[in-house]
C-alpha cells in the first residue's frame, strides 16, 4: 500500500528525512512518535505529496511519488489527510464541507453524496450540526467534521498529523474515540502522528519511533512499549509517560 525505499528529503541543505525504509500494508494502523523536529510531519506529508522527496522511491497505491511524472491527484483521491488545525471551509456549512470534494473530484451523484455525508455525521456523533458553520463548533467538533470530510472520499488510507494537539483536553477523547472506531470498523490504512500514547497502545498495530530524521524503531505496539530497544526511545517514553 505504502512503501518508502531509501528515501531522502532535504529542506535546502537541512537533511530532514534520512534513508527512510518503511512498508505499511493495507488496513494497518501505524503510529509515528518521536521528539519535536524529528521529521514525523515531514514523513507523512510526503505520502500525499505535500512535501517532495529528493531521493529514493515512495510507492503509494502503486504510484511512485518520487517520480515527477506521477499525477498527484490520483494519489490524493485515495489518501486523505487530517491536520492539526482542521482546515475547514469557514464560509460553508458542515454538510457542504463534507460534500464538496466528492462532488468536485469524484462527481458523486448529489443525493448519494448527501446521504453519505449525513451518515458520516452520525458516525462522528454530530448529526445535529449539519447546517452549522465551522465558527459555531468547538475544536473537537471541528476535528470530527474534518475526519468525516476525509472519510467522505472513501480513501484507502488516512494520514493524521497531530490531530488532537491543538484541542482543549476535554474534547480530545471524543476525537480519539472517533479515530478508534474508524480503526476498528473501517479497515482503512491509518498513519497517525500523535503524542497520545493511550491511543497508540490501544489501537496501533505498529509504532515507529523517529529521531533526527531517521526511523530508529519499527516495532509491534506491544514490543515497542514493553521492550523498546533504542536508548532514545526509552528516554522519550519515560518522559512522555511521566507527563
Ligand atoms: N518547510 C520547511 N522548511 C525548512 N525546514 C523545515 C520545513 N518543515 C520542517 N522543517 C524542519 O524539518 C525538521 C523536521 O520537521 P517536522 O515538522 O517534520 O518534525 P516533527 O517531528 O513533525 O516535529 P513536531 O513534533 O514539532 O511537529 C525540523 O527541524 C523543521 O524545522
**Sign for the pseudo-dihedral over CA of 134, 179, 126, 186:** positive
Going by CA atoms, what residue is nearest to atom 3 of ligand 1? 11
Going by CA atoms, what residue is nearest to atom 24 of ligand 1? 36
pLDDT digits (tens, 9 = 90+) for 181-212: 999 988 899 999 999 999 999 999 999 999 99
In ligand 1, which atom is closest to the CA atom of 45?
A: 18
pLDDT of residue 137: 96
Confidence of residue 72 (pLDDT cuts 50, 70, 90): confident
Least-confidence region, from 52-66, 123-137, 149-163? 52-66
Q: State mean pLDDT over 41-59.
A: 95
In the reported structure, the alpha carbon of residue 39 is separated from the centroid of ligand 1 by a whole-number distance in angstroms of 6
Structure ipTM = 0.96
Nearest of 139, 142, 147, 116 to residue 129 by alpha carbon = 142
73 lines ligand 1 (CB under 6 A): no
In the reported structure, the alpha carbon of residue 41 is separated from the centroid of ligand 1 by a whole-number distance in angstroms of 7
pLDDT digits (tens, 9 = 90+) for 109-126: 999 999 999 999 999 999
11 lines ligand 1 (CB under 6 A): yes
Asked if residue 159 lies in contact with residue 82, where contact means CB atoms within 8 angstroms, the answer is yes
Q: At CB < 8 A and 24+ separation, what contacts does 69-75 make?
A: 72/48, 73/105, 75/48, 75/49
In the reported structure, the alpha carbon of residue 233 is separated from the centroid of ligand 1 by a whole-number distance in angstroms of 19
Going by CA atoms, what residue is nearest to atom 31 of ligand 1? 37
Going by CA atoms, what residue is nearest to atom 1 of ligand 1? 11
Who contacts 131 (Cβ-Cβ below 8 Å, separation ≥6)?
93, 94, 95
125: which 3 cell numbers? 456523533
Who contacts 227 (Cβ-Cβ below 8 Å, separation ≥6)?
none
Domains of the chain, earliest start first: 2-85+157-242 (3.40.50.300)
| Predicted TM-score (pTM) of this structure | 0.94
Amino acid at each position: 500500500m505504502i512503501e518508502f525505499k531509501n528515501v531522502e528529503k532535504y529542506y535546502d541543505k537541512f537533511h530532514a528525512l534520512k534513508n527512510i525504509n518503511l512498508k505499511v500494508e493495507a488496513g494497518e494502523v501505524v503510529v509515528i512518535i518521536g521528539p519535536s523536529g524529528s521529521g514525523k510531519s515531514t514523513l507523512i506529508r510526503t505520502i500525499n505529496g505535500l512535501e517532495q522527496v529528493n531521493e529514493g522511491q515512495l510507492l503509494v497505491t502503486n504510484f511512485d511519488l518520487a517520480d515527477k511524472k506521477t499525477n498527484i491527484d490520483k494519489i490524493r483521491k485515495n489518501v486523505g489527510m487530517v491536520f492539526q488545525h482542521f482546515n475547514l471551509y469557514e464560509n460553508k456549512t458542515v454538510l457542504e464541507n463534507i460534500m464538496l470534494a466528492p462532488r468536485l473530484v469524484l462527481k458523486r451523484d448529489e443525493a448519494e453524496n448527501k446521504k453519505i455525508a449525513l451518515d458520516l455525521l452520525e458516525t462522528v456523533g454530530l448529526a445535529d450540526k449539519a447546517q452549522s458553520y465551522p465558527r459555531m463548533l468547538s475544536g473537537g467538533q471541528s476535528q470530527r467534521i474534518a475526519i468525516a470530510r476525509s472519510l467522505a472520499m472513501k480513501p484507502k488510507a488516512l494520514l493524521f498529523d497531530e490531530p488532537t494537539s491543538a484541542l482543549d483536553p476535554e474534547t480530545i477523547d471524543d476525537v480519539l474515540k472517533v479515530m478508534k472506531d474508524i480503526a476498528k470498523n473501517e479497515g482503512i490504512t491509518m498513519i497517525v502522528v500523535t503524542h497520545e500514547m493511550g491511543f497508540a497502545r490501544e489501537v496501533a498495530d505498529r509504532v515507529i519511533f523517529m529521531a533526527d530524521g531517521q526511523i530508529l524503531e519499527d516495532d509491534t505496539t506491544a514490543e515497542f512499549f514493553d521492550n523498546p530497544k533504542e536508548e532514545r526511545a526509552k528516554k522519550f517514553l519515560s518522559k512522555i509517560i511521566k507527563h
